[in-house]
Amino acid sequence: MNVLVAKNHTSGGDTSEKKICGVLYGVGLGPGDPELMTLKAARLISTAGVVAYPALVGGDSLARSIAADLISADAVEVVVEVPMTVDRRPAQAAYDRGSAAIAVHLEAGRDVVCLCEGDPFFYGSFMYLFARLSQRYQVAVVPGVSSMNAVAARSGRPMVARNEVVTVLPGPLGEDDLRARIRAADSVVLMKVGRHLGKLKRVLQGEGLLVDAVYVERVGMAGEVCVPLGEAPETAPYWSMILVTKGADPWL
C-alpha cells in the first residue's frame, strides 16, 4: 500500500538486532476545503492505522476537521497539543512530546500519517516534527495546495506570469522592511495578517496599492471572507492573508 520501503533501523549498540521501523508521512491537506486534498493524501489518510495531528490546547484541530471524513474509526490518533505563546519553549516541549509519541509507533513498525494544514513545508508546523524525527526514521512528505494558491484562485487574481517576482512576507515584519520588500516585488503575499492588519493596510495605502490588494480569511471554508482590502473587517484572525498583484505585465 505504501510506496516507500521502511529503511532498516539498528536499535541500540547490538548491531545483530535489526528491526523494520514504520514510515512517517507528512501529508498536506490543502487550504481547508476537503476536496482540495490530493488523491495521495486521501489514500494515505483513509488507509492509515495511526494518524497524528496538531491541535490547540484543549484538542480543537483544524487539520483533523479537514480530514475527518477519511479517518478510519479504527485508527489510533496521536494529538500534538501546541500552546500558542510568544515564548517558543512551551511549543518546543510540545513537539518533543509529540515526536516521542509518534516514535513509539514508528519503533513498533507502524506507519504514522501526520495531517498538515496547507503544505507541510510552507509555514507548517510539521517541520518541527521533521526536525526531530527525520534523522532516525524514514519520512516522506506529500505536498499540498498552499493557501496562497487558493487565495489567488478564489479572488480571480492571477499571481505571477512570465518573468515576474513574487515575495511572501509574514505580517509581523517591521514597517520599513515590509515597504521596501513590497516595492521590490511584482506580486506580494502577506501571511499571518492577524493583528498586523492595520499596519499592513497603512503600508499598502502609502504605496498606492490598496486597489490592487485583496483580503481573504478562511478560504474555501465556512465563514470565508474574500473582499478588496479597503473593505476588510477591523480585526483579522491569525491565518488571514492579503494578496497584492500589481499587474505590471498585462497577461495577454
Catalog residues that contact its own copies under the rule CB under 8 A. 26, 28, 30-31, 33-40, 42-43, 92, 95, 119-124, 127-128, 130-132, 134, 139, 141-146, 149-150, 152-154, 156-170, 172-173, 181, 184-185, 250-252
Q: How far apart are CA 90 and CA 141, in angstroms?
A: 25
Calculated CA dihedral for residues 195, 232, 61, 27, nearest 10 degrees = -100
Does residue 226 sit in helix, strand or coil? strand
Task: Say if CB 242 and CB 193 are below 8 A apart.
Answer: yes
For the bound state, the minimum distance from the C-beta of residue 77 to its own copies, rounded and expressed in Å, comes to 22
Of the pair 145, 213, the CB lying nearest its own copies is at 145
Is the Cβ–Cβ distance between 244 and 212 less than 8 Å?
yes
Sign of CA dihedral 209, 211, 213, 215: positive
| Least distance CB 138 / its own copies (angstroms) | 11
C-beta closer to its own copies: residue 13 or 250:
250
Considering the complex, state which of residue 15 and residue 99 has its C-beta at the smaller distance from its own copies: 99
For residue 129, the minimal CB distance to its own copies (Å) is 10
Query: Which residue, 108 or 165, has its beta carbon nearer to its own copies?
Result: 165
